[in-house]
Amino acid sequence: MNVYDSNRMAVMLENMGLVKTQNQRDADVVIFNTCHIREKAAEKVFSDLGRAYLIKQERLENGKDTIIGVTGCVVQAEDKEILKRAPYVDFALGPLRYFRLKEVVEAIFNEREKQLLDTQFSAVSKFDFLPENKSESGCSYLAIQEGCNNFCTYCVVPYTRGVEVSRPVEDVLNEAKRLVQTGSLELNLLGQNVNSYHGEDASGKERNLAYLLNKIAEIDGLQRIRYTTSYPADVDDDLIQCHKNIVKLMPYLHLPIQSGSDAILKKMNRRHTRDDYLRVVEKLKEANPNIGMSSDFIVGFPGETDEDFQQTLDVVNRVKYIQAFSFKYSRRPGTPAAVMDGQIDEKVKKDRLQILQDLLFSYQTKFNLDSIGKVMPVLFENKGRHKGQLVGRTPYMQNLHAEVDNSFLNKIVEVRVTDASTNSLSGEVI
């Protein structure tokens, strides 16, 4: 979601005549779009800001000023504190307020405002005020839903992104068409809780994610569709059928379970049990036997016993995830879990994370090794580390490197996989 928001901000700044630079020392405007989900990400912002301030001072000695802005969830959570901790920040906009970027940058530039903070939870939708989006590469994100009403007890999202809002069907379709017209072959539909999407169509009728996926699949020129992140309790039968019927929908689904223990899921205020989750995975595999699953996990949630943790490992052994993201529980101020009894020792969290990641990596590595010899369509998205190399994605979100020239960039090409490791594949274009 932050990548999507950052891209939209980049388009706004480009429309103002600004150009991107590779070197921060050249930048007249620097914006940090921030994440508050775990403590580490949130704290990093302040060290990054400190470094930006040093560069600002250096540039001032050469007669150049720099506007420093902060956007995203750290702004929403810290509010006035952000200007106290980093008083040299020129503006700070919450994740629902960055549509004001042009006006705010101009006001600071023209010295109409000295400093500006806006963390309103607006009644208006920011999407109504953003300029038309355009594709930056062959693969684009498209936000269809924002905010969350689930209030998992560890999570800051409902407090920083606000209540759940779905964009109207027509708005999403227009943005999707525009992204495809400007070069996207793949769209990744985004929402904090994307499968609870319930946007209105032109006649005012509420439509679900399955309806939207079918509509988007009709767009000529679009070849791949993904959606993320889904909430297990909101996977309905319509959505499962999409994995059977929509050819453009990639056979990969990120469906976070967080923990395999019912006791912990309950304390997390997740609206599903471990069996509910496993049943959904089973149905998805019935709809498309080739589907690869991915998940998020939190280890060391307050009260998590060795037995609870074993239950998480057991789910991994059953589902055999082809990719996953796993984190040590991070205590977030203002969330219910932060003040729960039974906070887990850092060393125990670290050990559990290691054990979990070793197991997850073993399945991921096996899946990647099993890909050797197969031919897969790869969307080349980026230049590789070496000259003459491009990096792309397989339908299963695996990174694949190949020695091919830049003319293959932003194209989908058949590739034979020749080698594999835990994190990536190599292949030859055929």
Query: What residues make contact with ligand SF4 under the rule CB under 6 A?
Result: 148, 150-152, 155, 157-158, 192-193, 231
Identify residues 155-184 at the interface with ligand SAH (CB under 6 A): 155, 157
Return d(Cα 359, Cα 310) in angstroms, integer.
12
Minimum Å gap between C-beta 230 and ligand SF4 is: 10
Applying CB under 6 A, which of residues 192, 312, 364, 394 lies at the interface with ligand SAH? Answer: 192
Identify residues 21-50 at the interface with ligand SAH (CB under 6 A): 37-38
Which pair of structure tokens corresponds to residue 342?
């039974």
Return d(Cα 236, Cα 207) in angstroms, integer.
13
The binder of 283, among ligand SF4, ligand SAH, none, by C-beta within 5 to 8 A per type, is none
Site membership for ligand SAH, residue 330 (CB under 6 A): yes
Return d(Cα 198, Cα 212) in angstroms, integer.
9
Which residue's CB is nearer to ligand SF4, number 73 or number 417? 73
Site membership for ligand SAH, residue 227 (CB under 6 A): no
Return d(Cα 377, Cα 367) in angstroms, integer.
17
Minimum Å gap between C-beta 193 and ligand SF4 is: 5
Which residue's CB is nearer to ligand SAH, number 37 or number 187? 37
Minimum Å gap between C-beta 256 and ligand SAH is: 3
Phi, psi dihedral angles at 408 (to 5 degrees):
-85, -5
Which residue's CB is nearer to ligand SAH, number 330 or number 399? 330
Which residue's CB is nearer to ligand SF4, number 157 or number 360? 157
Minimum Å gap between C-beta 344 and ligand SAH is: 12
Return d(Cα 104, Cα 92) in angstroms, integer.
10
Minimum Å gap between C-beta 95 and ligand SF4 is: 13
| Cα Rg of the chain, angstroms | 22
Q: What torsion, rounded to 10 degrees, do the Cα atoms 144, 146, 149, 155 define?
A: 130
Minimum Å gap between C-beta 271 and ligand SF4 is: 9
Contact predicate 380/386, CB 8 Å:
no
Which pair of structure tokens corresponds to residue 238?
């319509």
Site membership for ligand SAH, residue 195 (CB under 6 A): no
Identify residues 56-75 at the interface with ligand SAH (CB under 6 A): none
Applying CB under 6 A, which of residues 141, 252, 321, 329 lies at the interface with ligand SAH? Answer: 329
Site membership for ligand SAH, residue 76 (CB under 6 A): no
Tell me the torsion sign for CA atoms 269, 274, 278, 283.
negative
Burial class (CB in 10 A: 0-12, 13-18, 19+), 178: middle
Which residue's CB is nearer to ligand SAH, number 147 or number 395? 147
Return d(Cα 20, Cα 30) in angstroms, integer.
10
Minimum Å gap between C-beta 148 and ligand SF4 is: 3
Which residue's CB is nearer to ligand SAH, number 71 or number 330? 330
Site membership for ligand SAH, residue 298 (CB under 6 A): yes
Minimum Å gap between C-beta 304 and ligand SF4 is: 16
Minimum Å gap between C-beta 1 and ligand SF4 is: 10
Type and span of the H or E element at 13:
helix 2-15
Return d(Cα 322, Cα 57) in angstroms, integer.
47
Type and span of the H or E element at 70:
strand 67-72
DSSP output for 211-264: HHHHHHHTSTT--EEEEE---GGG--HHHHHHHHH-TTB-SEEE---B-S-HHH
Site membership for ligand SAH, residue 154 (CB under 6 A): yes
Whether a cis peptide bond, with omega within 30° of 0, leads into 229 is yes
Minimum Å gap between C-beta 390 and ligand SF4 is: 34
Which residue's CB is nearer to ligand SAH, number 329 or number 367? 329
Which residue's CB is nearer to ligand SF4, number 135 or number 335? 335
Site membership for ligand SAH, residue 144 (CB under 6 A): no
Phi, psi dihedral angles at 378 (to 5 degrees):
-120, 130
Contact predicate 71/117, CB 8 Å:
no
Nearest to 150 by CA among 34, 297, 227, 265: 265
Which residue's CB is nearer to ligand SF4, number 35 or number 219? 35
Alpha carbon of residue 136 to chain centroid: 16
Which residue's CB is nearer to ligand SF4, number 133 or number 150? 150
Minimum Å gap between C-beta 274 and ligand SF4 is: 16
Q: Residues interacting with ligand SAH, by CB under 6 A? A: 37-38, 154-155, 157, 192-193, 229, 231, 256, 258, 296, 298, 327, 329-330, 332
